A and B are shown apart, each in its own frame.
Chain A
Amino acid sequence: MLAEIGLIALSLTFLACLYAIVTSIYGERVTSEGWVLSGRNASLVTFPLLTIAVLALWVALTTEQYQISYVWSVTDPQTPFLYRITALWGSQRGSLLFWCWLMSGFTFFAVLLNWRTDRRLMPYATAYMMASLAFFAGLTLFLENPFTRWWVDAVSGESFQSALIPANALAPTNLQLSSTANGLNPLLRHFGMIIHPPMLYLGFVGFVVPCAFAVSALASGDLSTNWIKATRRWTLISWIFLGLGLILGGRWAYDVLGWGGYWGWDPVENAAFLPWLVGTAFLHSVMIQEKRGMLKVWNMALVILTFSAVMFGTFATRSGVIESVHSFARSSVGMPMLLFWASITLISVVLLVYRWQRGELRDDHTFSGLLSRETLFVLNNVVFVALTLVIFWGSFGAPIVSELLFDTEITLGTDYFMLVTPPLFAVMYILMGVAPLSAWTATSVSRLGSALLLPFALTTITLFGIALTSPTNGVALVAYGVVFLAGYVALYEIFRGVYARTKGRGEAWHVALVRLFVRNQRRYGGYIVHLGITIIGIGVIGSTLFQLETRRTLDIGESTQIDAQYRVTYDDFARGVSADGRVINTATVSIYRNDAFVSTIEPRIDEYPDMPMTIAGADSTLERDFYVLLTGFDPETGSASFKVYINPLVNLVWWGGIILIIGTILAAYPKEIVPERVRKPQTQATPTTEAVLNA
């Protein structure tokens, strides 16, 4: 029954999408309000329909309906309830349905909330969003159907899968099926995997909204800033989720994959990073169009490229074109996805070129000065796009070109990325430091220099402090320097704003701080984001340049010195079976620093039927992680080999990520929700913040 409900809901979704595409475009072309409204209603119905389909699968997963082959493939009777819920995105078919549901949620709210304010853009935007949804709903329905069931041929006795009830077939009993059920991939049995995929999917699918409005602007000819105003918040929301997904993915890799790091430059990680980079470039350059009416073509290109990168990333992850830890999601959907990605990119680019050639995307204002915020934002965009291109080249371009032209498989790994990306990231941080202090239209070198004086002085003092108190080197000091400068500039800008309000309006510091953020949430939320990126940068530099890695083989009771400060003792080894059937091998290790006991950790190896999992034991402080992996053992003697990492400052990566998300939420938070007494100050006829700053 659940399979039928899910199948019908999914089929109706697909039909509703097709109907919405046709009626929206037709209604717009013949200027028929009735058809356009009918298309809108069809698009709105997809979310409830997909909610029914998702609920049907969730109920099947939690009630152990093993006749549904997807349930059989991702759960077994030992699977805990929480993992039955998360098993929805545990494999290709379920995750595609989940993807459709999230996309329909975004389109539902975008259509509902933007319909009145952006009426002219809505028909084509609806058609674009529905085309994307139709593609994924079609894939799910026809190629990767999560509602197919197991059947047994009544004559031959052979088992097979079918979505519809076949003739001369019997349904096997749940008992028969449960004994052979697969269970969830062990890699996915982690807290990070519970929320990492939904966050990443939300980030991915959310970008369909800004892209749909941009394409609609190109198709309809409404090339004013309407599409930008309509999509700014959607872009930020998608960017938040994508950032959160990347951070959680890094944390999952750090905890579960057992190699002591959080970013391995794996092609699939990179595929998720590319839309974030282009989306970040878009979030910056769109400000130039809003403030100065410039970079119209560029902004269109960036938003198209962002969604194109999302689709490419999806194709790369799910098609099996890349071998990686994410290969669980491989299937036969590769070619349709490639065609869809190429089609939407081509159509969007053709529309953009068409409007560009007609001169409809000319800038409103002219350039005023070479040293201006506009120029620095363009440079910022160059850096983000250059990062996107070199990462794309290393992950996909070079291996594909090499195989096609030279018939040779190559891998561009960490060596390549650590060679080409650090200079670009350094320039990114320098621009993060300089651009906020420059003025729109033009700024002078002396003014910029005097604005940079205090942040530069603070950076110099900090670097002296680092050099005097901890082991470092020239490369690290330069890297820390550019990162700290960006952070101090963000803090300085916030301080200047608060100071101006306290002087100009006589507000208390805390009141001035709150009102500063409320009055210009985007600008100051952006500075919090910059602070988050700064803290991430400090964490990345510390954990990359000063990571200590060593391997030791120890007998029970044996101690070994790891570095000048740290010593470990291998205390004990235990082997047991958990409630869910895994064999757990646990080593107990004590950590000592300068001979003083620090803590006891328990690295372990969990043996699942088809693969082992290495779970690190870690003692975490803000200063460092002492991270130990049990890499092998002799079950007879208890002798074990360990991989020990000391990862300095690694926890700043996670804390920086949290600050980044808070900053983005501040920037995207709807101003209307803030109480009026906070939004509007009591004093009147006082100078503006800008006037005080410029005084």
Chain B
Amino acid sequence: MRRWAGLTLWLLLGAWGALAQSRPITLDDVNEVASRIYCPVCENIPLDDCGTTTCIEWKIEIEQLLREGQSPDDIIASFVNRYGQHVVGIPQDGTLRLLSLLMPLLLVIGAGFVAWRTTQDWQKRKNAPLASATATPDGATAYRDQIEQDLG
């Protein structure tokens, strides 16, 4: 029932907002901002998709802040200040942002380096004398040797 009370409140405020605002703030404007914020309570759910009463109240707050002239970035920053870095999809804190985005780059470079080493290794063995390439028995030969050894 609380949910419906919240939703009704949301509808009424939405309607009131449409009448009272000095510049038109639509539900789409509100949800554009809300979609960039994760629900501080229900983890991994964007605020615009969350239907809890608390989230509806936060959306009402976003609407009011937009009407007061705050920019979406200001509103998001205020949510980060109040609830922490986990309310945005990429942290706003410089160090955490760097950590989050630098690591994937390093991982891709690392994977590329492994591939480069692999092809380099192939190239070296291609250029190596044939005798050294065939000196080590392959798996099947080693297996046959083992069987012969076992059979005495």
Instruction: Give a binary string over A616-636; 1 marks a CB under 8 Å from any B CB, 0 the rest.
Output: 000000000000000111110
Q: A375-B119, A393-B107 are in contact. Are A632 and B7 (CB under 8 A)?
A: yes
Contact (Cβ within 8 A) A266 B44: yes
- Taking CB atoms, residues of chain B closer than 8 Å to A361 are 139
B114 sits at the interface (CB 8 A): yes
A161 sits at the interface (CB 8 A): no
B86 sits at the interface (CB 8 A): yes
- Taking CB atoms, residues of chain B closer than 8 Å to A641 are 7, 10-11, 14, 27
- Taking CB atoms, residues of chain A closer than 8 Å to B11 are 553, 632-634, 639, 641
Contact (Cβ within 8 A) B51 A402: no
Contact (Cβ within 8 A) B14 A221: no
A258 sits at the interface (CB 8 A): yes
Contact (Cβ within 8 A) B123 A221: no
Complex alpha-carbon distance, A34 and B123, angstroms? 49
Contact (Cβ within 8 A) A378 B119: yes
A159 sits at the interface (CB 8 A): no
Query: What is the chain B residue whose CB lies nearest that of A221?
Result: B146
Contact (Cβ within 8 A) A402 B133: no
Contact (Cβ within 8 A) B104 A324: no
Contact (Cβ within 8 A) B15 A553: yes
Contact (Cβ within 8 A) A402 B96: yes
Nearest CB of A to B31, in Å: 6
A416 sits at the interface (CB 8 A): yes
Nearest CB of A to B107, in Å: 4
Contact (Cβ within 8 A) A298 B118: yes
- Taking CB atoms, residues of chain A closer than 8 Å to B61 are none
Query: What is the chain A residue whose CB lies nearest that of B44?
Result: A324
Q: A368-B126, A634-B8 are in contact. Are A385 and B111 (CB under 8 A)?
A: yes
Residue in A298, A416, A549 whose CB lies within 8 Å of B100:
A416
Contact (Cβ within 8 A) A398 B100: yes
Nearest CB of A to B130, in Å: 9
Contact (Cβ within 8 A) B89 A296: no
Complex alpha-carbon distance, A430 and B95, angstroms? 34
A478 sits at the interface (CB 8 A): no
Complex alpha-carbon distance, A412 and B44, angstroms? 9
Residue in B45, B96, B118 whose CB lies within 8 Å of A378:
B118
Q: A224-B139, A259-B49, A612-B3 are in contact. Are A390 and B86 (CB under 8 A)?
A: no
- Taking CB atoms, residues of chain A closer than 8 Å to B28 are 549-551
B20 sits at the interface (CB 8 A): no
Residue in A368, A375, A408 whose CB lies within 8 Å of B93:
A408
Instruction: Give a binary string over B108-122; 1 marks a CB under 8 Å from any A CB, 0 the rest.
Output: 101110110011011
Contact (Cβ within 8 A) A223 B119: no
Contact (Cβ within 8 A) A414 B89: yes
Contact (Cβ within 8 A) B43 A411: yes
- Taking CB atoms, residues of chain A closer than 8 Å to B95 are 406
Q: How many chain A residues have a CB neighbour from B under 8 Å?
A: 72
- Taking CB atoms, residues of chain A closer than 8 Å to B121 are 367
Q: A223-B139, A293-B138, A367-B126 are in contact. Are A412 and B115 (CB under 8 A)?
A: no
Nearest CB of A to B30, in Å: 8
Contact (Cβ within 8 A) B138 A382: no
Nearest CB of B to A169, in Å: 39
Contact (Cβ within 8 A) B91 A410: yes
- Taking CB atoms, residues of chain B closer than 8 Å to A363 are 122, 125
Complex alpha-carbon distance, A398 and B146, angstroms? 47
- Taking CB atoms, residues of chain A closer than 8 Å to B133 are 366
Contact (Cβ within 8 A) A382 B103: no
- Taking CB atoms, residues of chain A closer than 8 Å to B110 are 389
Nearest CB of A to B118, in Å: 6
Instruction: Give a binary string over A381-400; 1 marks a CB under 8 Å from any B CB, 0 the rest.
Output: 11001100110011001100
- Taking CB atoms, residues of chain A closer than 8 Å to B43 are 322-324, 411
Within 8 A of B (CB), among A351-391: 359-364, 366-368, 370, 374-375, 378-379, 381-382, 385-386, 389-390
- Taking CB atoms, residues of chain B closer than 8 Å to A397 are 103
Contact (Cβ within 8 A) B107 A408: no
Nearest CB of A to B75, in Å: 16
- Taking CB atoms, residues of chain A closer than 8 Å to B111 are 382, 385-386, 389
B88 sits at the interface (CB 8 A): yes
Complex alpha-carbon distance, A406 and B95, angstroms? 10
Complex alpha-carbon distance, A646 and B40, angstroms? 28
Complex alpha-carbon distance, A343 and B125, angstroms? 35
Complex alpha-carbon distance, A322 and B14, angstroms? 34
Contact (Cβ within 8 A) B126 A413: no
Complex alpha-carbon distance, A361 and B93, angstroms? 46
Within 8 A of B (CB), among A414-440: 414-416, 419-420, 424
Residue in B4, B12, B119 whose CB lies within 8 Å of A367:
B119
Complex alpha-carbon distance, A565 and B125, angstroms? 64
Complex alpha-carbon distance, A556 and B146, angstroms? 83
Within 8 A of B (CB), among A282-302: 293-296, 298
Nearest CB of B to A656, in Å: 25
- Taking CB atoms, residues of chain B closer than 8 Å to A223 are 139, 142-143
Complex alpha-carbon distance, A632 and B38, angstroms? 20
Complex alpha-carbon distance, A612 and B6, angstroms? 14
Q: A416-B100, A420-B104 are in contact. Are A267 and B44 (CB under 8 A)?
A: yes
Query: What is the chain A residue whose CB lies nearest that of B30?
Result: A551
Query: What is the chain A residue whose CB lies nearest that of B114?
Result: A382
Residue in B7, B49, B115, B136 whose CB lies within 8 Å of A258:
B49
Query: What is the chain B residue whose CB lies nearest that of A636?
Result: B8
- Taking CB atoms, residues of chain A closer than 8 Å to B125 are 363, 366-367
Contact (Cβ within 8 A) A415 B27: no
Complex alpha-carbon distance, A402 and B8, angstroms? 39
A195 sits at the interface (CB 8 A): no
Contact (Cβ within 8 A) A412 B90: yes
Within 8 A of A (CB), among B32-66: 36, 38, 42-46, 49, 51
- Taking CB atoms, residues of chain B closer than 8 Å to A375 are 119
Within 8 A of A (CB), among B118-152: 118-119, 121-123, 125-126, 128, 133, 136, 138-140, 142-143, 146
Nearest CB of A to B109, in Å: 9
B69 sits at the interface (CB 8 A): no
Residues of A within 8 A of B (CB): 221-225, 258-259, 264, 266-267, 293-296, 298, 322-325, 359-364, 366-368, 370, 374-375, 378-379, 381-382, 385-386, 389-390, 393-394, 397-398, 401-402, 406, 408-416, 419-420, 424, 549-553, 612, 614, 631-635, 639, 641
Known: A612-B3, A633-B11, A641-B11. 10 other contacts (CB 8 A): A296-B139, A381-B115, A382-B115, A402-B91, A410-B100, A412-B89, A413-B88, A416-B100, A551-B28, A552-B27
List 5 A-B pairs, minimum CB-CB distance, nearest first: A367-B122, A413-B89, A415-B89, A632-B7, A323-B43
What are 18 inter-chain pairs, A to B, with CB distance below 8 A?
A296-B139, A324-B43, A362-B138, A367-B123, A390-B104, A402-B99, A408-B85, A410-B85, A411-B89, A413-B46, A414-B89, A416-B89, A424-B108, A551-B26, A552-B27, A634-B11, A641-B10, A641-B14
